[in-house]
Structure 1
Amino acid sequence: MPPPVVSNKIYVAGGGGSRAASAVEEYDPETDTWRVVAYSQRMRYGCIGAAVDGVFYVIGGLKIGGASGNGAGGIEAHVYASSMDLYDVEARVWLRSRAVPGGGCVVAACAVAGYVYVLTSHVVELSFWRFDARRKCGGGGDDSSEGFGEWCKMKSPPMPTQIRLDGTVRFCCVGVGDNKVILVQVVGCIDDLLRRSGRSQRGFKDGLVLVYDSGGGEWSRGPDLPEVIRRAACVSVEC
């Protein structure tokens, strides 16, 4: 997933190593320089970034050193997987963290028209959520509970709930225009999905494209990615 842009700068968070995993790094294209602007209390990898209204969102991922096991580390890693940290770029402060309702593991996220859309996996099904990221009280550094809107559960992507989503399946999503979310299956295989389109093959490979129209609240099937494109990253370019 491409890093989010805030105030004409690129922000990156998370990664390998204890120090790098908690750092928020800023790239300034005008000076061609990187710098660390903040450190998070959470050290994680595999997280997703999004940006709305001057706030950099660090979503999901797993705890460094605590991604597996049955002890407290495993529990904490699970909490990270459904968490969302908010960094106010202008004020240089962390705002109150949020958690995706219902838990699960965040597998894709993006920002569209003032909202953050999050797709979470619960092993046997997917859920789709929208967070109202538009500031209600103005100014940077507002950390009050009324500073942002609430979570709203949206219609889940049209995938059979009885199909077990393999742990190797990965998704990417990107916002397009004012009301479209494009969800792409970029890694892995989902059995039986082709049956929905009248075909009987099993082992549906990478390339499924679904389009969510927030205006109508409905999903539609887009053309699959060409076979030459795999392990894709998605980005929207406005012309």
Structure 2
Amino acid sequence: MLRCDTWTGTLVPKAGMGFLRKKFAAAAVAGKILVAGGCARSSAVEEYDPDENVWRVVSEAPRRRYGCIGASVDGVFYVIGGLKIGSSGSDGLACGSRAAGAEAAHVYASSMDLYDAASRGWLRSRAVPGGGCVVAACAAAGDVYILSSHAVELSFWKFNALRKSDNFGEWCRIKSPPLPAQVRLDSTVRFSCVGVGEKVVLVQVVGCIDDLLRRSGRPERGLKEGLVLVYDCAGGEWTRGADMPEVIRRAACVCVEC
């Protein structure tokens, strides 16, 4: 692991995680870094203490996921979406048949596990209403925002993550991102999103629309990767941001206050 000092631009090597992971969930919670998923050998949840430069296993995740997304609100680490790895056994799902495997993948892709960092315990897992596959997620303004794909359309959801709120745990479907008409959803189009204050920034990180047009037999040029859309959490409206000047394929987004 490397620590980047955003003021000086320097990189400092730090202790590595105890388990090799790929496409895992990560989030900063109460001054620590929590990671989960992305490991075929273990369901361990690890916590990094930046003051001690030490990783510790703090829990075992209820689901062993791959390709999941992490977010943090109000002391809770959210492990969202992804695919099932092997047979964790904790949720009663088996991969003994193709049908069972497809069912497990669907359940994992639309579910969310909640880890309370203070009590070292797991809260009740939640599922995105209507199912679908989580393709992007982030925390902003005290809520968790989730973009879900339903094969031919996208839905956008807000999960009330303020634990002292009377509405904690409630879902609300909100306005979907206004994708240009040229953008046709398939496995080549992917997104990343990040909360910036009271806004959610959605970035298209994979999927050249030119390629989609060519595959459909249309020679004209369309939109490339780098589409940026901004959702105002307070106003409930989307706006189009400037496209990324340079495409970093499969990029992840992060927000730093300065």
Q: TM over 0.5, yes or no?
A: yes
Alignment partners' CA distance in 1, 2:222 and 2:182: 15
The structure-2 alpha-carbon separation of the partners of 1:36 and 1:201, relative to structure 1 and needing over 3 Å to count, comes to: farther
Structure 2's unaligned 5+ residue stretches are 1-23, 88-94, 214-218
- Tell me, in whole angstroms, the C-alpha distance in 2 between the residues paired with 1:44 and 1:117: 20
Equivalent residue in structure 1 for 2:71, among 50, 75, 93: 50
Matched, 1:103 2:117: no
Is the alpha carbon distance of 1:214 and 1:201 closer, same or farther for their aligned partners in structure 2, counting shifts above 3 Å?
farther
For 2:193, the equivalent position in structure 1 comes to 173
Specify the alignment match of 2:50 in structure 1.
Answer: 29
Report if the CA contact (8 A) 1:131-1:152 is conserved: yes
Do the aligned residues in 1 keep the contact of 2:141 with 2:233 (CA within 8 Å)?
A: no
Distance 1:234 1:4 in 2: 12
Q: Residue 98 of structure 2 is aligned with which of 70, 73, 79?
A: 70
- Give the direction of change, closer, same or farther, for the CA distance of 1:35–1:217 in structure 2 (3 Å limit): same
1:3-18 residue pairs with structure 2 within 5 A?
3-18=26-41
Q: Which residue of 2 aligns with 1:133?
A: 161
Specify the code of the residue in structure 1 equivalent to 2:129: P
The alpha carbon displacement at 1:35 in A equals 1.3
Computed over aligned residues only, the root mean square deviation of the Cα atoms, in angstroms, reads 2.6
- 2: CA distance between counterparts of 1:237 and 1:185? 20
Q: Residue 229 of structure 2 aligns with which residue?
A: 210
Secondary structure of the residue aligned to 1:79 is helix
State the AA in 2 paired with 1:28.
Answer: D
Aligned length: 223
Measure, in 1, the Cα distance between the counterparts of 2:147 and 2:251. 17
Closer, same or farther in 2 for the Cα pair 1:114/1:16, shift >3 Å?
Answer: same
SS class of match (1:171):
strand
Letter in 1 for 2:146: V
What is the Cα deviation at residue 121 of structure 1? 0.6
User: Secondary structure of 1:158's partner?
Assistant: coil
The 1:213–1:162 alpha-carbon spacing in structure 2 relative to 1, beyond 3 Å, is: same
1:80 aligns to what SS in structure 2?
Answer: helix
Contact 2:72 2:78 in 1 (8 A): yes
Paired amino acid for 2:244: L
Normalised to the residue count of structure 2, the TM-score between the two structures is: 0.79
Q: Tell whether the 8 Å contact from 1:166 to 1:189 is kept in structure 2 after alignment.
A: no
Report the structure number with the largest CA radius of gyration. 2
How far apart in 2 are the matches of 1:76 and 1:131? 23
How far off is 1:228 after superposition?
5.1
Say if 1:121 and 1:202 are closer, same or farther in 2 by CA, change over 3 A: farther
